[in-house]
Structure 1
């Protein structure tokens, strides 16, 4: 397994490199200079590019072209989370700069440092059983580490709406199921009914 490699930018997802270069010159002087742009494959929520600028490798994130669902493509939210998380959980990349001016690249965007890593995709060759076990253990442990972060200490207490979260999730997903179901599935119906009677207690805000 090898770290994710960027590829040529997909047709229709190019942006104005000169405009970005001018913006960087005034906002992030250490990243001034010619920019070589490539793009990471897959990933449909937001577009992710690799910028080679001299000795620097920087990742740029922006919404898909034509996106209209702001809550699903909130660059300022992503940038704020990274900015607050990185000092207390260094596994996340360092956030470098955020631009909310759509005249630069057509939409808000932000920059972060590149962190090399492996992304397991459907077309990847499956690892052996021992490696898969280590991956799964690390996956669960990483989530546990994130959940242990002090939300208030990290400055993320206003990130979401923790009050009533369990109720919103149970009611919301139950409603989505009933709206989408074509044929009854008794096990799901029993689960929904059980959750309605036995909702887990609220435990406070957590990532």
Structure 2
């Protein structure tokens, strides 16, 4: 299997000595040997590194370097979330330890190293996707989302860390405010969309643990792609409306008949455009059947999810336009934002 790590990027080096000292204090059963550190190539927000001492290996996760927005990149919260969820959900990595900023200058946590295949825009060399394989992967994605939503969160300490009441109303108001702070150009229909969301807020009566960034390239599969062995990026996880989680998953789930801009707005289209992968409707139908949940108001959740993704991209475009980032990939994100707003409007009008 091809390596999923790279040499550490310039400017993202870690204090290896400080980390090893702390690891040996906290984990006395570590083997003899020197700590080696490599970086994972994936991830655009928090940074992840592979730690190895002899046969022992783990993953270190820390915030990005530089100024960090308040409440963003909360390592302590993500560590506690994983501590509560991993005993009930095998794909969640087990967390080993948390360290505050006194060890290496920023907080971090160390968790289980999982091995497998992460799918994004291509299948790995040597694997020729079949329609049966793609269908099976789709079913696995649905079934693990159902499994996550079926965990009884009241048996965990997430009850102390979350506030499910009024979740969707807070989400709608909060993401509208984020959009308004990052607005650069007037997009036709956006005011109508904001008002529609505020008037049509829907809230499931059965809150659940939601991942809230559930997508194929946050998942890891075994070598023959028959089983999910890992699910990553739990920083947005909370207890809230499970249909909001499904909506977000669908905003990332691209299908072959989507517009070229939607397919390629974030780069090369994901593998879900390959024959055999479920359509969004098929994904939602299986979810409804497996979970027993009523998806009658799903148009609201899909509309909100497209708007939420538009806001995330608008925030990045705002940073580019104001010279806070020079990354040329972001120069045309405004067109993608406009496209997502139109998709949101279409979803709202199509079924509601």
Tell me the TM-score range normalised by the shorter chain.
0.7 to 0.9
CA RMSD of aligned residues (A): 2.5
Runs of at least 4 residues off by over 6 Å: none
Change (3 A) 1:123 1:72: farther
Preserved CA contact (<8 Å) 2:31 2:56: no
Pair 27,55 (structure 1): closer, same or farther in 2 beyond 3 Å: same
* Aligned twin of 2:58: 58
Residue 59 of structure 2 aligns to a residue whose secondary structure is strand
Distance 1:145 1:153 in 2: 15
Asked if the contact 1:3–1:118 (Cα under 8 Å) also holds between the matched residues in 2, the reply is no
- Equivalence for 2:90: 90
Change (3 A) 1:92 1:172: same
Q: Which runs of 5+ in 2 are unaligned?
A: 210-352
Aligned with 2:50: secondary structure?
strand
SS of residue matched to 1:15: coil
Matched, 1:184 2:188: yes
Q: How far apart are the structure 1 equivalents of 2:203 and 2:108?
A: 38
Q: 1:183, 1:88 → 2: CA distance?
A: 44
What is the rounded CA distance, in whole Å, between the counterparts of 2:68 and 2:47 in structure 1?
14
What residue is the counterpart of 1:114 in the other structure? 113
The equivalent of 2:144 in structure 1 is 142
| Residue 39 of structure 2 is aligned to residue 35 of structure 1 | no
Mean Cα deviation higher: 133-142 or 44-53: 133-142
TM-score where L is the length of structure 1: 0.85
Q: Residue deviations 1:94-140, cap 9 Å, x none?
A: 1111111x232110111111111322233656944433322222222
How far 1:146 moved relative to its partner?
Answer: 1.0
Partner of 1:81: 81
Whose helix fraction is larger, Structure 1's or Structure 2's?
2
CA deviation after TM superposition for structure 1 residue 32, in Å: 5.4
Aligned pairs, how many? 203
